[in-house]
Amino acid sequence: MAQSPQLKGYSAATATKQQQLEKQFDQHLEAANIGQTIKSLSAYPHHLGSAQGKRVAEAVLQKFKSYGWDAKLETYHVLFPTPKTRQLELIGPTKYTAKLQEQAFPEDVTSGQAGQLPTYNAWGADGDVTAELVFVNYGLPDDYEQLAKLGIDVKGKIVIAKYGRSWRGIKPKVAYEHGAIGCIIYSDPKDDGFYQGDVYPKGPFKNDQTVQRGSVMDMVIYPGDPLTPGTASTLKAKRLERSEATTILKIPVLPISYGDALPLLSALEGPVVPAEWRGALPITYRTGPGAAKVHLKVESNWDIVPAYNVIATMKGSTYPDQWVIRGNHHDAWVNGADDPISGLAAQLEEAKAIGQLAKAGFRPKRTLVYCAWDGEEPSLLGSTEWVEDHAEELRQKAVAYINSDGNSRGFLQAGGSHALEQFMSEISKDVRDPQTGVSIFERKRAKDAVNAGAAKTQAAILKKDTLTLSALGTGSDYSAFLQHLAVPTLNLGFGGEDEGGDYHSIYDSYDDYVRFKDGTFVYGVALAQTAGRAVLRLANAEVLPFDFSNLGQTVGKYVEEVKALTAQLKEKHSAENALINSKSYQLAADPKLSWIEPTAKPEVPAIDFNALEAAVKSLQQSAANLNSYLNSKPATDKKAIARVNQALFQAERSLLIPEGLPKRTWYKHSIYAPGFYTGYGVKTLPGVREAIEQNNWTEADAQLQTATKRINALAQTLDQITQAK
């Protein structure tokens, strides 16, 4: 089929029609209405399991219904810990009792409301521990290596780590792996506080009592209800004992403000921390341990609560069993005007506009499924349980999943399956940036070019005329779709222009949003235009707009990266061992300071990437063949096109590893996964890359074979499309 140059998957004639449809769609999007939605849905604290949470789910359900959609609640019953006891005291050398309480301000009318979840980290263990305190920087594996060099051990200690650099759940997990018995996490003002700008309520940054709540579930093992891994947590589901759930932590965890952290950190003794570890508090940052001793007590109510997913559908006219799925969560830690309501409001605006189009006679070719998830905050509970519940159907029917979450002023942030890169590139050129009037593609490119450090990179960015999709780790509701089922996925949003410290605090409110984020809601409209186009174009495409050439190119880059990583490790380990063998560490060390000789690094063996590289080449060839085939197919051959469409959206499933990734079988995508030690941060070619990073050469070999097999499988799947009679 000769495709329109601007609209992949459409012929010239249908492209024009689609563009008219999108114009009408845009006319129904109203910034003021988005603002109204944000205000009303964030009016009260509405976390999972709360009465207000249920009220929000029902309000969303009513909206979908009022827009003409077929909508219902799908309810699961999930474990959800909420605070019973939270206690933190410095008991020596001086005394201090942590406040653990954010302050209400008249400038923020919802900040003093009843029903707020106290500041806590969900999924930490119940515990009552007293021990010396050790500061562990961001609490990542490298930080403990650095501590070991200084002769500092956290065994039997309570650690205090800064928020940042990783998903928060990694910090207590790594602390536990190193023998710590408790974990405190605080927001340093260097990362989020006066160091960045004026603090709340004068400015948007964290004041000295603001706290970031959040889940610390070990969700890089599996997300969703810890008691029902891989299956839906229906009322009658078979559940694990809590003690059997590998994603619930083994030590107590508590998040605190920098005001509460200051007396603790000030009391630390021991070596001064490395320069990169130091924050912005006016103290000498030291590692501990020593006289500074703390008492930490945390207990939760471990209740099973209902999670209300709102599911709205509009049946497709031509392919009712091909689903284009769109989602955003509705639960918040507190009021959540930004996270998640700003994204949800845009999504509801899309649904409203599509409803209005439908009233005027429009019918999508494929079925639209609009979802508002519950329980995202405590680790993607609602979406994961729904996907696990509907897994079989989704394997058959899910064309793509398009996610959003918090949204604000700034630049397009788009991640997802690279087979949709070309498709998103087209959309990004068709949506105007509300502030500058150029396309959101152009504005993002300008920003990327300006921010790139090196002149070479700047020039390369300016020359590139297509959007680059980032790869997805985790952190929002796309995980189960992409990483468990390999449903082609997009995650869309705007941001980067207004930073602030409201995230997961009582100040993520309408007042904060209007003052410091997208005050005129024009980026809500931009998100609705962007995600709405993605939905409508996928829904109506004659041939689904997947392009596996982009995926082939991107995977080729990932292979280059893991090769380079291996070479770097080889060089690094051999240089490190040369330093050790030449006694350089010993000679360079200050004899007045305590110091531990680093242990020798394993030598990196030769690793054979040939088969993997060959697989990528054959994927690239198969993708090119498929593109030629699709361009030459006569548009009249309806039956062939139907067969091709079905094959196209299911092709990415070939990348699924049936047995899953090592140590976490729930994650099955061979190209994208959250990092085992980064959390939200993605690891591409995760099996191979993480085995190399962890010096596990046997596993690296096995994972190389697995990845090679999956990439070859995708190439064959594509070949089957072109070679079918």
Quote the crossing angle between the two packed helices 31-41 and 522-540, to the nearest 10°: 100
Which of 497, 613, 701, 719 touches a copy of itself by CB under 8 A?
497
Torsion (CA) 177, 179, 184, 189 in degrees, nearest 10: -70
Cα of first residue to Cα of last residue in the chain, in angstroms, is 16
196 binds a copy of itself (CB under 8 A): yes
The single residue among 272, 564, 614, 642 that binds a copy of itself, judged by CB under 8 A, is 272
The reply on whether position 455 binds a copy of itself by CB under 8 A is yes
Query: Cα(138)–Cα(361) distance, rounded to whole angstroms?
Result: 55
d(C-alpha 136, C-alpha 132), whole Å: 13
Options 60-68, 97-105, 166-174, 588-596: segment touching a copy of itself (CB under 8 A): 588-596
The answer to whether residue 274 forms part of the interface with a copy of itself (CB under 8 A) is no
Of 385 and 433, nearer to a copy of itself (C-beta) is: 433
Q: Contact region for a copy of itself (CB under 8 A) — 302-310, 380-388, 397-405, 579-587?
A: 579-587
For 293, left (φ over 0), alpha (ψ -120 to 50), or beta?
beta
Interface with a copy of itself, residue 281, by CB under 8 A = yes
Question: Which residues lie below 8 Å from residue 639, measured CB to CB, with a gap of 6+?
Answer: none
Local structure of 173: helix, strand or coil? helix
Q: Does the protein bind a copy of itself through residue 142 (CB under 8 A)?
A: no
Among the listed ranges 118-126, 382-390, 572-580, 696-704, the one in contact with a copy of itself (CB under 8 A) is 572-580
* Residue 466 Cβ vs a copy of itself, minimum distance, rounded to whole Å: 16
- Its sign, for the CA torsion 587, 589, 591, 595, is negative
Catalogue the long-range contacts made by 580-585 (C-beta closer than 8 Å, 24 or more residues apart).
Answer: none
Least distance from a copy of itself to the Cβ atom of residue 479, Å: 31
Strand pairing class (366-373; 127-135):
unpaired
Judged by CB under 8 A, the stretch of 34-42, 64-72, 359-367, 450-458 that binds a copy of itself is 450-458
In terms of CB distance, is 5 or 282 closer to a copy of itself? 282
Q: Residue 522 interacts with a copy of itself (CB under 8 A)?
A: no
* Residue 89 vs 442, nearer CB to a copy of itself: 442
CB-wise, 573 or 617, nearer to a copy of itself? Answer: 573
| Cα–Cα distance for residue pair 676/340, rounded to 1 Å | 25
Give the phi and the psi of residue 367 in degrees, each rounded to 5: -75, 135
Task: Yes or no: say if 629 and 721 are a contact pair by the CB < 8 Å rule.
Answer: yes
Cβ proximity to a copy of itself, 199 vs 707, nearer residue: 199
Residues 492, 413 contacting (CB under 8 angstroms): yes
Closer residue to a copy of itself (CB): 564 or 578: 578
Q: Annotate each residue in 599-628 with x if it binds a copy of itself (CB under 8 A) or - if it does not, as one string.
A: ------------------------------
In terms of CB distance, is 392 or 465 closer to a copy of itself?
Answer: 465
- For a copy of itself (CB under 8 A), the number of binding residues is 48
Single-letter amino acid code for the residue at 35? G
445 vs 504, which CB is nearer to a copy of itself?
445
492 beta partners: 414
- Least separation, in Å, of the C-beta of 445 and a copy of itself? 8
Report if residue 629 touches a copy of itself, rule: CB under 8 A.
Answer: no
**Helix spans in 243-314 (H):** 258-266
Stretch 409-448 residues interacting with a copy of itself (CB under 8 A): 435-436, 438, 442-443, 445-447
Q: Which of 12, 462, 564, 600: binder of a copy of itself (CB under 8 A)?
A: 462
Which two structure tokens, joined as six digits, stand for 281?
């508090």
Which of 53, 91, 285, 201 is closest to 514 using CA atoms? 201
Residue type, 497: E
Which residue among 155, 583, 638, 663 contacts a copy of itself (CB under 8 A)? 583
3-state SS, residue 229:
coil
Does residue 164 touch a copy of itself according to CB under 8 A?
A: no
CB of 406 to a copy of itself, least distance (A): 18
DSSP code string of 488-538: -EEEEEEEESS--S-TTSTT-SHHHHHHHS-TT-HHHHHHHHHHHHHHHHH
The residue from 51, 114, 235, 450 that contacts a copy of itself (CB under 8 A) is 450
Residue 280 found at the interface with a copy of itself (CB under 8 A): yes
Instruction: Report how far apart, in Å, the C-alpha atoms of 59 and of each of 72, 320, 333, 556 are.
Output: 12, 27, 18, 46
Confirm or reject binding of residue 195 to a copy of itself (CB under 8 A): yes
Is 596 a residue that touches a copy of itself (CB under 8 A)? no
Give residue 519's identity as a one-letter amino acid code.
G
Q: Which residues bind a copy of itself (CB under 8 A)?
A: 189, 194-198, 272, 278, 280-284, 435-436, 438, 442-443, 445-447, 449-451, 455-456, 458-459, 462, 497, 568, 571-572, 574-576, 578-579, 582-588, 590-592
